[in-house]
Amino acid sequence: MSSDSGKLAIDSKPETKPETKPETKPVVKKPEEKSVELPKFEKDISDKIVEKFGDKVEVAFVKKDRVGINVSRENVHDVAKFIRDGLNYDHVESVSGVDYPQNKEIAVVYHIGSYSDPSLASQILVLSTTAQREENPIPGHDATKLPTLRDIFYSVEFHEREIFEMFGVYFEGHPDNRRLLLPEDWADIPPLRKDFAIKGR
Amino acid sequence: MTTELPRDIKLASSEKQIDQSSSNWLPPGLALQKVDEKIMTLNVGPQHPGSGHMRLIIQIDGDYIVACDPDPGYVHRGEEKMAEYRNYITNIPHLERPVIHDSCNILYPYVLGVEELLGIEVPERAKYLRVIGAEINRCIYIMYWLAIYGIFLGHSTMFMWPTGDRELLIDLMEKMTGARVTHSHFVPGGVRNDLPANFEDVCLRQVNYFEKRIKEYAAVFYDNPILISRTKDTGVLSRQDAIRLGTTGSVLRASGVDFDVRKKEPYDVYDEFDFESIVMKEGDSYARSKVPWLDMMESCRIIKQALEKIPKSGSVRVKLKPNPKGKGFDTVYKRVESGRGSLGCYIVSDAKPEPYRLKLSVPSFRNLIALPYLLKGEKLGNMPAVYWSLNYWPVEADR
């Protein structure tokens, strides 16, 4: 992109007013420059993951103290394993489901942090994957399934149980796929899905 | 690096997978199998005062606990679902309900997140007011918890004293915000109200007295040989396990991990204060009960510094547009150190007045996973000492 802008600058010079135009142009260019100025430490983390997995992963965002990685459900287990063994992250703070009925998918987002590596103390790695969404869910018996990360991060145990009851995402390999918060006689669809409406709203 | 923890709890669930949807699915508790003639299954809660608003299914062999299966959810209110139907401002009063006595701290990550989504810069004075509010609330929460911890150990003085001394700080918050417990004080863009006249003097006087007062707890509670014999070396959580289980707050810091969000990822003006994050190495119930108490003394130091450094005048709130929206599809994850530990808020925004999804990652829920490991092998009589030392608030865990 810099070569293009250089050409433009050369083109503009012979015309007129070489002083005013360079002033206006950087304003146009700024968004591109910003995207280059990513925080270095966070960029290194995302680069390491991309270097290892290539186009299997997609870097969603790189912000201060936050790195977002999107990965398909086939590769999420391998990527999580690399994050633990290769990048020293050691626990999961939060597991959130996000329902996207228009895309027919349910995103499951892991917020992964580190206690043992002091340089990563302020960092959160946001690992996001998606499960296939069914219109008429039968939790545990439909295609809405993901591999569990409990054998990698022990701390997801209760979080994944919560996602299972609230979104109907079954975690294959999780040793304890029971309900956690919902009542035992709950017979409706998983309540945090978008098509579960609150009364009166 | 091995991943498996030594957890040979004899639950049916740990041996085979249970399908929830099939007819052989069993609710929590019924999944515990009878493993031995000698072993008895005991329900503690949900009505039992010793369990809080939850049920602990405990298997005992004689007087010793062999397994524990926590069953939360009795106070689940669907805060996250409700938040999807209300706009960013009207979410504030109901989001503080899970921990009404720590209401500033549970709103803090939400407010920080909304500000990042909207791209608002908060006035300097408001940042200090937030720190004062959050620290006073931390003390209010810890005093409440300490009172409960005292009474469940049979120490009724430790119930009366914190309950009484807590009033000092509740009065301060009432002066500051107008409400005794549910303040709804933090809003995107600052705080709701400025300080009343000569609040600083009253606050300094009350906090000085409070600090002097909590130091007296050492003589009656923390140096008490009965407390020490009941809590020392019970429910030991090693440093390694504390990290692997992803515990947070006082549980983590009592096990020797120095992690305080105020230090590691300072938000607002926390990087300007001189305070220490309390760390103890023992990892037993005694250390877990002592860390919050020492935390309160650091909170008092922060409040006093904040009262000195606060700008004497200026705006406390940025005016927002009606019905603020995000700028487009965006996500944000913010965390703060609450009275119980790191409290995170994940907001997914799709440029509508309501959040598309809001997730509260609460410390009580994260610490609950440690309970089965801590109770295994303990005497049944030590159950309250271990359980309440987790600094656990069931209503928050259920949301």
At B132, which CATH number? Answer: 1.10.645.10
Contacts of A84 in chain B (CB under 8 A): 1
The pairing of beta strand B55-61 with beta strand B329-337: unpaired
- Is A176–B265 a contact, with Cβ atoms under 8 angstroms apart? no
CB contact, 8 Å: B82 with chain A?
A: yes
Contacts of B79 in chain A (CB under 8 A): none
- Is A93–B20 a contact, with Cβ atoms under 8 angstroms apart? no
CA separation for the pair B254, A108 (Å, rounded): 31
pLDDT at B374: 85
Does residue B181 contact residue B197 with C-beta atoms inside 8 Å? no
pLDDT at A111: 92
For residue B25, is it within any domain?
yes
Contacts of B342 in chain A (CB under 8 A): 93
For residue B4, is it within any domain?
no
- Number of A/B CB contacts below 8 angstroms equals 130
Q: In terms of Cα–Cα distance, which of B164, B117, B115 is closest to B140? A: B164
Do B180 and B251 fall into the same domain? yes
CB contact, 8 Å: B53 with chain A?
A: no
State the DSSP H helix or E strand holding residue B384, giving kind and residue range, or none if neither.
helix B383-389
Taking the CA of residue A192 and the nearest CA in chain B, the distance in Å comes to 6
What is the span of the domain harbouring residue B17? Answer: 12-71
Q: Which of B71, B93, B110 is the last residue of a domain?
A: B71
For residue B157, is it within any domain?
yes
CB contact, 8 Å: B244 with chain A?
A: yes
From the list A94, A157, A179, which residue is nearest B369 (CB)? A157
Q: Does residue A181 carry a pLDDT above 80?
A: yes
Taking the CA of residue A138 and the nearest CA in chain B, the distance in Å comes to 7
Tens digit of each residue's pLDDT, chain B (399 residues): 434 444 433 343 333 444 444 434 444 444 555 556 677 788 887 876 666 788 888 888 888 888 888 888 888 888 888 888 888 888 899 888 888 888 889 999 999 998 888 888 889 999 999 999 999 999 999 999 999 888 888 888 988 999 999 998 999 999 888 888 888 889 888 888 888 888 889 999 999 999 999 999 888 888 888 888 888 888 888 888 888 888 998 999 998 888 888 888 888 888 888 888 889 888 888 999 999 999 999 999 999 999 998 888 888 888 887 777 767 788 889 999 988 889 999 999 888 888 889 999 999 899 988 888 888 888 888 888 888 888 888 888 888
Contacts of A153 in chain B (CB under 8 A): 246
From the list B3, B331, B361, which residue is nearest A93 (CB)? B361
pLDDT in tens, B141-155: 999 999 988 888 888
Do B40 and B95 fall into the same domain? no
| Band of residue A20 on the pLDDT scale cut at 50, 70, 90 | very low
Burial group, residue B34, by CB count within 10 angstroms (0-12, 13-18, 19+): exposed
Find which of A94, A95, A116 to mutate to test the B interface (most B CBs within 10 Å of its CB): A94
Instruction: Give the contacts of B203 (CB within 8 A, at least 6 positions apart).
Output: B132, B172, B303, B307
| Band of residue A154 on the pLDDT scale cut at 50, 70, 90 | confident
Contacts of A201 in chain B (CB under 8 A): 85
Do B117 and B244 fall into the same domain? yes
Q: In terms of Cα–Cα distance, which of B66, B60, B214, B206 is closest to B150? A: B214
How many separate domains does chain B show? 2
In B319-378, the residues whose Cβ lies within 8 Å of chain A are 331, 333, 335, 342, 344, 346, 348, 356-357, 359, 361, 365-366, 368-369
Distance of CA A192 to the CA centre of its chain: 19
Do B228 and B278 fall into the same domain? yes
Q: Helices in B216-284 by DSSP H: which ranges? A: 217, 225-231, 239-244, 250-254, 261-264
For residue B2, is it within any domain?
no
pLDDT at B35: 55
State the DSSP H helix or E strand holding residue A48, giving kind and residue range, or none if neither.
helix A40-53
Domains of chain A: 2-36 (no CATH), 40-172 (3.30.460.80)
For residue B338, is it within any domain?
yes
Q: In terms of Cα–Cα distance, which of A194, A164, A196, A199 is closest to A181? A: A164
- Is A94–B333 a contact, with Cβ atoms under 8 angstroms apart? yes
The pairing of beta strand A105-113 with beta strand A124-132: antiparallel
From the list A66, A92, A140, which residue is nearest B246 (CB)? A92
Contacts of B357 in chain A (CB under 8 A): 96, 98-99
For residue B35, is it within any domain?
yes
From the list A90, A178, A191, which residue is nearest B31 (CB)? A178
Do B136 and B257 fall into the same domain? yes
Contacts of A151 in chain B (CB under 8 A): 3
Secondary structure class of B374 (helix, strand, coil): helix
- Is A155–B369 a contact, with Cβ atoms under 8 angstroms apart? yes
Strands (E), chain B: 39-44, 55-61, 64-71, 186-187, 190-191, 329-337, 342-350, 357-361
Does residue B23 contact residue B63 with C-beta atoms inside 8 Å? no
**Higher local confidence (pLDDT), B16 or A122:** A122
For residue B154, is it within any domain?
yes
Q: Which of B71, B106, B121 is the last residue of a domain?
A: B71
CA separation for the pair B258, B241 (Å, rounded): 14
**Residue in the structure block whose two tokens are 């407010």:** B111
Taking the CA of residue B232 and the nearest CA in chain A, the distance in Å comes to 25
Contacts of B20 in chain A (CB under 8 A): 139-140, 164-165, 177-179
Do B42 and B146 fall into the same domain? no
Judge if the upstream peptide bond of residue B46 is cis by omega within 30 degrees of 0. Answer: yes
SS (H, E, C) A101-132: HHHCEEEEEEEEECCCCHHHCCCEEEEEEEEE
Find which of B57, B79, B81, B262 to mutate to test the A interface (most A CBs within 10 Å of its CB): B81
Do B40 and B141 fall into the same domain? no
Do B216 and B306 fall into the same domain? yes
pLDDT in tens, B160-189: 999 999 998 999 999 888 888 888 889 888
Instruction: Give the contacts of A64 (CB within 8 A, at least 6 positions apart).
Output: A39, A42
For residue B352, is it within any domain?
yes
Find which of B264, B337, B371 to mutate to test the A interface (most A CBs within 10 Å of its CB): B264
Q: Say what the pTM is.
A: 0.83
Do B60 and B194 fall into the same domain? no
Say if the ipTM goes beyond 0.85. no
- Is A66–B342 a contact, with Cβ atoms under 8 angstroms apart? no
Partnered with residue B71 across adjacent β-strands are: B55
Do B47 and B94 fall into the same domain? no
Does residue B253 contact residue B342 with C-beta atoms inside 8 Å? no
pLDDT at A110: 92
Do B242 and B304 fall into the same domain? yes
Do B98 and B244 fall into the same domain? yes
Distance of CA B78 to the CA centre of its chain: 18
